[in-house]
Chains A and B, each alone.
Chain A
């Protein structure tokens, strides 16, 4: 068994929502609330959950774009949460992020040469013709023609811009890439290209991915293991096939069943779980399981009291008692 690439222990991130007249925080939003997660070298860990579950905050905390409130993120023998700003430099190159929106995440006043080469310039790693060579090589690698080097982002489509984003993230040869919804904003016909590209680059550069997405079909396609996040906590973690075919948490089951399947002959199939809207208030988490208010298996007295521990890959007191339904395997449409 190899050493983990990244080890997250009891990580908490809180955002202040309101302060009293003395400046003390009286209301806070607990976005990440006790996450333990391990990434193994070379794997793709999918992180899924609804909007507001804390998955983006978790990703941002890993790359250092967000301060952790408590807990640790161990990488290469070092706790990243304890680093001073200036000490982060080295890790900033090894852990990179690809953002969701290819339209707002590229500076419109910079050419592709400047955007992609920027990480090399700021670290002083390359300049002049070497810089140009490395940018050109990276562009070719992600499927962009180097002759576009002096153009501005507006001249490119969403898929091409996402390639620019990927090139910018990979040019410093990182080890870990946190990809936050990297294909969600893309045209459907272009998504497959980017997913395939991410897989290719992973092999070539030996990358480890944390792939954050709300799209369960995309995550199933790319991830080796999947973590399901709800209300700031990981509620289930398993190998992809296991998680999709035999979910152990009622929330995972509900998520799976909500995904529309492109096959009209299966319309109206039974087993769709419709979740009610009433999410708990993130500034005032309920006791017990945070999902209990929406869970159809919740039992009063058991699920709404005490702390629910994460055991054997699932955070649910009723696990083992429940027969949960996974996805139906499809030969699919053509």
Chain B
């Protein structure tokens, strides 16, 4: 296997649109999202509930369930990057029974979800679930798969793996279940790990260990990671690149240092200010973002953040879709503030 070049795109999401038909109308959960995950790097997708970050992640592997529907865009998997024999293809244009799609799911792309206990089958041992995945994607026989399963549980830091392999999910703590999920996601040595809020339900101490684990596995396997979270602290810990989403759109994209040192979009700026930070905000009133995240059914006209934005310009932000401004170095922000003033290509 040739080493992939570090800055090459492994997964390119372009113009992705995913919508849900509900009784009250059509919800455009993801509305024209462009994202790139580079080989060996970590992309963090940040946003609040309803911003479409999870739906974006699920759309990549076409795991959106009815009444959800992927309506447009492309998801290009650059399989040729990984070894000489792979090919590039658009995941969205494959047939459901295409073998390439099966290989991608759980093979080249591993996925972990927020609630580990809910993602594991309750009536099968964790070993059985791990062994099944191993056998599908690596073609091992039962005995070899069991041996490998125990090794994997050890690798993700589960104490007593030889006994725990026969445990049922309810016998393990949340942190341990999440480790089992990670072992399952990683068992076929994926080139990309999609992690949807994998530490949100866990304690900080467990979270620190899971993040550490993902980081060390990434260094070992040169794996790319697409990490979905709402926690800016977690982003600062693990991201190389950051995409901020709000109501179905990417509003800002930048390197992790840039986004924390110099956030461009008002939403990113206000979000960073409103989150209490250890050692900074003791006993004081926090700056707030007014209002709540609107129901995606009734997305505000113009810039969808304008009703909550401190810097909104009347007559402009409430009417026109803001342009995506590209800055030096390639970072972007979807906001009129930079239109023609700071933007290079405005």
Contact = CB atoms under 8 A, between A and B. Distances in A.
Interface of A: 50-52, 157-160, 187-193, 195-196, 199, 214, 216-218, 220-222, 224, 240-241, 244-245, 254-267, 272, 274-279, 327-334
Contacts of B286: 192, 195-196, 221
Going nearest first, the 4 A-B pairs with the smallest beta carbon separation are A260-B233, A192-B286, A332-B280, A258-B208
Given A258-B207, A263-B260, A277-B157, A334 B288 contact: no
Interface string B197-219: 00000011111110110000000
A278 B158 CA distance: 9
B159 A277 contact: yes
B237 to A, nearest CB: 5
A221 B176 CA distance: 31
Interface stretch (B77-85, B96-104, B183-191, B270-278): B270-278
A265 B257 contact: yes
A74 B186 CA distance: 53
Interface residues of B, number: 58
Contacts of A224: 283
B241 to A, nearest CB: 11
B288 A193 contact: yes
A190 B295 CA distance: 14
A279 B200 CA distance: 20
B273 A259 contact: no
Given A158-B49, A330-B279, A188 B274 contact: yes
B269 interface: yes
A159 B271 contact: no
Contacts of B212: 274
B277 A187 contact: no
A329 B205 contact: no
Nearest to A265: B257
Nearest to A262: B232
B263 interface: yes
B235 interface: yes
Contact of A259 (B159, B278, B308): B278
A218 B274 CA distance: 11
B174 interface: yes
A294 B278 CA distance: 24
Contact of B272 (A158, A276, A333): A333
Contact of A254 (B48, B205, B232, B289): B205
B290 to A, nearest CB: 8
A191 B275 contact: yes
B275 A262 contact: yes
Contacts of B64: none
B278 A256 contact: yes
Contacts of B256: 264
B140 interface: no
A189 B271 contact: yes
A157 B277 contact: no
Nearest to B270: A189
A257 B203 CA distance: 13
Contact of B275 (A188, A196, A275): A188
Contact of A217 (B257, B270, B278, B288): B278
B230 interface: yes
B288 A188 contact: no
Nearest to A200: B285
A258 B205 contact: yes
B49 A262 contact: no
B104 to A, nearest CB: 31
A216 B282 contact: no
B194 to A, nearest CB: 20
Contacts of A259: 204, 233, 278
Given A244-B278, A264-B260, A327-B279, A274 B209 contact: yes
Interface string B279-317: 111111111111011010000000000001000000000
Most buried by B among A160, A195, A244: A195
Interface string B232-260: 11111101000000000000000011001
Contacts of A192: 274-276, 286-289
Most buried by A among B49, B208, B231, B289: B208
B8 interface: no
B257 to A, nearest CB: 5
16 contacts: A188-B230, A189-B289, A189-B293, A190-B289, A196-B288, A199-B285, A220-B278, A221-B286, A240-B282, A260-B236, A264-B257, A265-B257, A279-B173, A329-B280, A332-B281, A333-B272
B40 interface: no
Given A157-B292, A187-B292, 16 more contacts: A187-B48, A189-B289, A191-B276, A196-B285, A217-B275, A221-B282, A240-B283, A260-B211, A260-B231, A261-B236, A264-B260, A265-B257, A265-B260, A277-B173, A277-B209, A334-B269
Most buried by B among A220, A224, A331: A220
B203 A189 contact: no
Given A191-B275, A254-B205, A263-B260, A220 B236 contact: no
B169 interface: no
B175 interface: yes
A261 B235 CA distance: 9
A241 B282 contact: yes
Nearest to A220: B282
Contacts of B308: 189
A216 B208 CA distance: 14
Given A187-B49, A216-B278, A244-B279, A334 B204 contact: no
Given A50-B203, A199-B285, A279-B173, A261 B278 contact: yes
Given A188-B230, A274-B212, A330-B280, A262 B235 contact: yes
A100 B239 CA distance: 29
Contacts of B236: 260-264, 266-267
Nearest to B233: A260
Nearest to A197: B288
